[in-house]
Amino acid sequence: VSGITTPLRLGFDIGGTKIGIALGDGQGRLCATQRIATPRGPDWQSDLVEIAAAARALLEAQGLDPAAVEAIGIAAPGPLDPERGCLRKPPNLPHWDQVPLRAWFEDAFGVPVQVENDANAAALAEWRYGAGRGVRDLVYLTLSTGLGAGVIANGALVRGAHGAAGELGHLALDPDGELCACGMRGCYEVALGGAAWARRLAHTAPGSSLALALAGSRERLAATHLIEAARRGDAFALAELARWNQALAQLLIVVCYALDPARIVLGTIATAAGEDLCLKPLRSAVAARLWPQMRAVEIVAAALGDELPARAGLAVAFATD
């Protein structure tokens, strides 16, 4: 295939239902992608054999030699040990217990392999390919079912001494609040994550709320319905979003004083809510609590959307330099 310059890099995005495989060239350009269903073999070893075979097939389909691959990046669900590149039984991959991803892929391809958790990988992807381009100090928040975060400081991903740097979703908003999946109480993830929000909304949404009508039932009510209802002027939805913005602003103020980023990139829920319902009120609430010299911080929506799984692993592969 013309235009693809070697050496190549391979990225894998490991998910509970889908695996994204991406091929990048020497300039970091995305050359080819593939998605396969997450294998459900008898054990993780057979699953990894299947994933590696799909990657080799992708290379061959482009007329490329697997020997031209010089590095591999893997985005994987947490919790994981980034030092050893080892998965620790992610909830959506229960039969992948203590999977040594880095060692296995290094053996299979004979190249260096870097493994990062989803949120760090997404931060790297937005930084290299998306809304984070051009800055050296960036904080990215996933804001989907949970609240993952990744921190880029001085032009490099911050991992911390124990691989837990940037776990901003587990700062406490209310130390006596609702129990979080992490075992602590009242984490920001409980206040801002879509899963916990939906759980609360199922109880608190008034029968007259448009959000409930859009969802069809309390069980199905989610942030997307709330955003649509707010857009159409529903009072309950607007009040809920205002409360959500306020909690998020409080977290971003902590982020600004801790890291003083040039840009903060916000994922799914904030992106869906957009300028009027989220970003504009957020910017003014945050700026009101910052020193004047910090107010230039840009608060923007994530840009990659559905392209994220194709970019996340590849961005990790380029972060090994």
Exactly one of 36, 172, 182, 285 binds Zn ion (CB under 5 A); that residue is 182
Nearer to Zn ion, 10 or 180 (CB): 180
Is 180 a binding residue for Zn ion by CB under 5 A? The answer is yes
Computed on alpha carbons and rounded to an integer, the radius of gyration of the chain in Å comes to 20
Closest separation in Å from C-beta 132 to Zn ion: 25
Beta pairing class for 80-81 and 86-87? antiparallel
Closest separation in Å from C-beta 180 to Zn ion: 3
Nearer to Zn ion, 58 or 187 (CB): 187
Rounded to whole angstroms, the Cα distance separating 6 from 26 reads 6
Nearer to Zn ion, 172 or 294 (CB): 172
Is 170 a binding residue for Zn ion by CB under 5 A? The answer is yes
Phi-psi region of 245 (alpha: psi -120 to 50; beta: other; left: phi over 0): alpha
Q: What single letter denotes the amino acid at residue 292?
A: P
Among positions 112-131, residues that touch Zn ion (CB under 5 A) are: none
Nearer to Zn ion, 184 or 287 (CB): 184
Nearer to Zn ion, 190 or 230 (CB): 190
Phi-psi region of 70 (alpha: psi -120 to 50; beta: other; left: phi over 0): alpha
Closest separation in Å from C-beta 90 to Zn ion: 16
Closest separation in Å from C-beta 289 to Zn ion: 23
Q: Which residues contact 164 (CB under 8 A, 6 or more apart)?
A: none
Other Cβ atoms closer than 10 A to 125: 33
Closest separation in Å from C-beta 306 to Zn ion: 28
Are residues 170 and 182 in contact, defined by beta-carbon separation less than 8 angstroms?
yes
State the residues that interact with Zn ion by CB under 5 A: 170, 180, 182, 184, 187
